[in-house]
Amino acid sequence: MSLESGKRSQPGSELGGKIGDDEQGYDLDLFCIPKHYADDLEKVYIPHGLIMDRTERLAREIMKGMGGHHIVALCVLKGGYKFFADLLDYIKALNRNSDKSIPMTVDFIRLKSYCNDQSTGDIKVIGGDDLSTLTGKDIIDTGKTMKTLLSLLKQYNPKMVKVARAFEYFEVVGFEVPDKFVVGYALDYNEYFRDLNHICVISETGKQKYKA
């Protein structure tokens, strides 16, 4: 469901689970929230169980759409790691338990674009191995910050690139959400909240407490 933290309000996809602008979320006391974040969140916006159910469906869509080609699953760190791991677990389960399977390898790249709740407009590539291994491969990208990353990937002439996102909207989509700054499920605010299982809306108290 990959990958930048923060506002996610781009056009939706027919595959996505659309959450309306008037969605109020769920009270925090209905869920297990780490005590150190008790005053830093407004609502639980997407519970972890719903994320996992949608991720399983996305894995099926990917298996159906990619054919039998060797693919590379490229994780955009850090915000994409939870979605990446869960999506691959479902794909691996389908590989084991169905007649159709996909040969797959994984790779990682790290990008940074946010400070506090605003995009800096400067996308920094901070890590990553030799991406020449992607040449001629089909790529499932489970990250965000797509404009810069797709431009980078094109230099290596991949055969095909499919973008799978949890909360932003290209070919394979988890959820369409309104324009709110959300954290959790590895999405951060200045590196905090990655340890939160649910997708939550950060409070003004939280923004000030963890402001860079």
This prediction's pTM? 0.71
Express each pLDDT in 95-151 by its tens digit.
Answer: 999 888 888 888 888 876 656 655 555 666 665 555 555 665 555 555 445 566 666
Six-digit token string for 136: 């001629």
In DSSP notation, the chain reads -----EE--S---TTSEE--TT---B-GGGS---GGGTTTEEEEEE-HHHHHHHHHHHHHHHHHHHTT--EEEEEEETTTHHHHHHHHHHHHHHHHHSS----EEEEEEEEEEEETTEEEEEEEEEEE--GGGGTT-EEEE--S-HHHHHHHHHTT--SEEEEEESSS-SSEESEE--S-EEEBTTB-BTTBSTT-SSEEEEPHHHHHHT--
pLDDT band at 44 (very low <50, low <70, confident <90, very high): very high
Write the CB contacts of 12 (distance below 8 Å, at least 6 apart in sequence): 18, 169, 173, 176
159: phi then psi, degrees, rounded to nearest 5: -70, -40
- The span from the CA of 68 to the CA of 159, in Å, is 13
Determine how many CB atoms are found less than 10 A away from the CB of residue 1: 29
Which among 88, 82, 113, 149 is positioned nearest to 5, based on CA atoms?
Answer: 113
How would you classify residue 92: left for phi > 0, otherwise alpha for psi between -120 and 50, otherwise beta? alpha
Give the span between the Cα atoms of 28 and 154, in whole angstroms.
43
Whether the upstream peptide bond of residue 78 has omega within 30° of 0, thus cis, is yes
Percent residues over pLDDT 70 in the chain: 57
Q: Identify whether 40 is a catalytic site residue.
A: no
Please report the pLDDT score of residue 43 as a whole number: 92
What is the length of the chain?
212
User: Domain 6-209 has what CATH class?
Assistant: alpha beta
pLDDT of 94: 92
Q: What is the pLDDT of residue 71?
A: 79
Whether 92 has a pLDDT exceeding 60, the answer reads yes
Residue percentage of the chain with pLDDT more than 90: 32
Pick the catalytic residue from 141, 179, 188, 195: 141
Q: Is 21 a residue whose pLDDT tops 70? A: no
pLDDT for residue 64: 83
Q: Do residues 164 and 141 make contact, with C-beta atoms less than 8 angstroms apart?
A: yes
